[in-house]
Structure 1
Amino acid sequence: MNLKNHHAKSYNLHKLITTIIFSILLSGCLTTESTRPDKPELTAEQSAENARINQLMAQSFAAAEQELEDEFFAINPDDYAEESITDIWPRVRNGFNIADTTNNPRLIAELKWYARHQKYLDRVVERAEPFLHYVLNEAEKRNLPTELVLLPIVESAYQTFAYSHGRASGIWQFIPSTGKIYGLKQNWWYDGRRDVYASTQAALKYLEDLNREFKGNWLHALAAYNSGSGTVRRAIRKNKKRGKPTDFWNLKLPKETQAYVPKLLALKRLINKPSDYGITLNCIDDTPYFEAVDITAQLDLAMAADMAEIDLNRLYQLNPAFNHWATAPYGPHRLLIPVDNAETFKSNLAQIPKAERIKWKRHKIKEGQTLSHIADRYSVSVSSLKRLNNLGSKSRIRAGKHLVIPVSSRKLSDYNLTSYQRKKTLQNIRRKGNKITHIVQRGDTFWDLSRTYKVKSHSIARWNGMAIRDPLREGQKLVIWTKAPVSKTASHGRNTIQRISYRVRNGDSLYLIAQKFNVGIKDLKRWNSFTSKYLQPGQKIKLYVDVTRQTGNS
Structure 2
Amino acid sequence: MTRLTLARFLSSLALASLCACSTQQTDTSTHSAFSEDGAGFQIDKEYLTGNGAEHCFPVDQDAFNHPIDQLSLPPSPDDNIWPRVQQGLALDYVDHPKVQAQLNWYKSHPEYLVRVQKRASRYLHHIVELLHTNNVPYDFALLPIVESAYEPFSYSHGQASGLWQFIPITANRFRLDRNWWQDERRDVPESTQAAISYLTYLYGFFDEDWHLAIAAYNAGEGTVRKAVRANKKRGKPTDFWNLSLPKETQAYVPKLIALSEIFRNPEKYGVELVPIANRPYFDVVDIDSQLDLSQASELLEVSLEEVYYLNPGLNRWATPPVATYPLKVPAAKKEAFVAKLAELPKDQRITWQRHKVQGGDTVSGLAKRFNSDVNVIRQANRLSGNDIRIGQILLIPTAKSRAAVYAYSQNQLNNRRSSRKPYSSAQKIVHQVKPGESFWRIAKLYQTTPEKIAKWNRKSPKDTLKVGERLVIWSKVKGSSRDGVVKKVTYKVRNGDSLAKISGKFNVKVNQITQWNGLNPDKYLQPGQRLKLYVNVMETY
Q: Give the drift of 1:441.
A: 1.8
Deviates further, 337-346 or 464-473: 464-473
Helix, strand or coil at the partner of 2:329: strand
Counterpart Cα distance in 2 of 1:331 and 1:316 = 21
Partner residue of 2:80? 87
CA contact (8 A) 2:184 2:191 kept: yes
* Residue from 143, 148, 152 that aligns with 2:140: 148
Give me the whole-angstrom Cα distance separating, in 1, the residues matched to 2:392 and 2:457.
37
Name structure 1 gaps, 5 residues minimum. Answer: 1-81, 491-495, 498-507, 529-536, 550-554
Amino acid at match of 2:237: P
Of Structure 1 and Structure 2, the greater helix share is in 1
In the superposition, the TM-score normalised over structure 1's length comes to 0.74
Query: Contact (CA 8 Å) 2:203, 2:213: kept in 1 or not?
Result: yes
Which of 427, 431, 435 pairs up with 1:434?
427
Contact preservation (8 Å) 2:232, 2:238: yes
The residue type paired with residue 387 of structure 2 is: R
How far did 1:438 drift?
1.6
Deviations 1:356-392 (A, max 9, x none): 3222222111111211111122222211221221212
| Aligned equivalent of 1:400, options 388, 391, 398 | 391
Q: Which moved more, 1:356-365 or 1:187-196?
A: 356-365
Question: Which residue in the other structure is 1:360 paired with?
Answer: 352
Query: Is the contact between residue 93 and residue 261 of structure 2 (CA under 8 Å) also seen in structure 1?
Result: no
| 1:421 aligned partner | 412
Please name the residue that 2:262 is paired with.
270
What stretches of structure 2 of length at least 5 have no aligned partner?
1-74, 478-483, 514-520, 525-529, 536-541
Partner of 1:449: 442
2: CA distance between counterparts of 1:84 and 1:281? 13
Structure 2 length-normalised TM = 0.76
What residue is the counterpart of 1:513 in the other structure? 499
Distance 1:457 1:339, change over 3 A: same
Q: Does the C-alpha gap of structure 1 residues 229 and 332 become closer, same or farther in structure 2, counting only changes over 3 Å?
A: farther
Q: What is the distance in 2 between the residues matched to 1:274 and 1:249? A: 25
Using the TM superposition, give the Cα deviation of residue 451 of structure 1 relative to its aligned residue in structure 2, in angstroms. Answer: 2.7
Deviation of residue 527 (structure 1)?
5.2
CA displacement 1:217-255 (0-9 Å, x = unmatched): 111111111111111111111111110111011111122
Structure 2 vs 1, CA of residues 332 and 208 (structure 1 numbering), >3 Å: closer, same or farther? farther
The answer as to 2:245 corresponding to 1:259 is no
Counterparts in 2 of 1:84 and 1:105: CA distance versus 1, 3 Å: closer
Counterpart position of 1:61: none
CA distance in 2, matches of 1:83, 1:241: 56
Deviation at 1:521, TM superposition (A): 4.2
Amino acid at match of 2:419: N
The aligned residue for residue 165 of structure 1 is 157
Match for 1:223 among 215, 218, 221?
215
Write the deviation string for residues 385-415 of structure 1: whole angstroms up to 9, x where unpaired.
Answer: 21221212x1121222111111222122211
Superposed displacement of residue 348, structure 1 = 0.7
Amino acid paired to 1:240: K
Is 2:465 aligned against 1:472?
Answer: yes
Task: Tell me the matched-pair count.
Answer: 438
Counterpart Cα distance in 2 of 1:104 and 1:520 = 63
SS of residue in 2 equivalent to 1:168: coil
Higher relative contact order (CA 8 A, sep 6+): 2
Q: Which residue type is aligned with residue 481 of structure 1?
A: W
Residue 546 in 1 paired to residue 521 in 2? Answer: no
CA contact (8 A) 2:94 2:257 kept: no
Deviation by residue 1:300-341 (Cα, 9 ceiling, x = unmatched)? 111111111111111011111111111111266011111222
One-letter amino acid of the structure 2 residue matched with residue 400 of structure 1: G
Instruction: Tell me the equivalent position of 1:115.
Output: 107
Q: State the partner residue of 1:202.
A: 194
Distance 1:512 1:382, change over 3 A: closer
Change (3 A) 1:487 1:402: farther
Find out whether 1:482 has 2:475 as its counterpart: yes
Per-residue CA deviations over 1:423-473 (Å, capped at 9, x if unaligned) read 111222243322212222223222333333233332222222223333322
Taking structure 1 as reference, are residues 314 and 146 closer, same or farther at Cα in structure 2, changes over 3 Å only? same
Determine whether 1:234 maps to 2:226.
yes
1:188–1:399: structure 2 CA closer, same or farther, 3 Å change rule?
A: same
Tell me the residue number matched to 2:48.
none
Q: 2:500 touches 2:510 (CA, 8 Å); kept in 1?
A: no
AA at the equivalent of 1:523: V
1:296 alignment partner AA: D
Shift in CA distance, 513/233, structure 1 to aligned 2, threshold 3 Å:
same
- Could you tell which deviates more after superposition, 233-242 or 330-339? 330-339
Question: 2-side partners of 1:243 and 1:83: how far apart?
Answer: 55
> How many Å separate the matches in 1 of 2:512 and 2:365?
32
CA RMSD in angstroms comes to: 2.7
Indicate whether 1:522 and 2:507 are aligned.
yes
Q: Is the counterpart of residue 189 in structure 1 residue 189 in structure 2?
A: no
2:539 matched to which residue of 1? none
2:487 partner SS: coil
Q: 185, 195, 211: which is aligned to 2:203?
A: 211
Q: CA deviation at 1:475?
A: 1.7
Q: Which whole-Å CA distance do the structure 2 matches of 1:357 and 1:121 have between them?
A: 40
Cα deviations across residues 494-526 of structure 1 (Å, max 9, x unaligned)? xx89xxxxxxxxxx9xx8425557x74422289
SS at match of 2:361: coil
Report the Cα distance in structure 2 between the residues aligned to 1:119 and 1:297, rounded to whole angstroms. 42
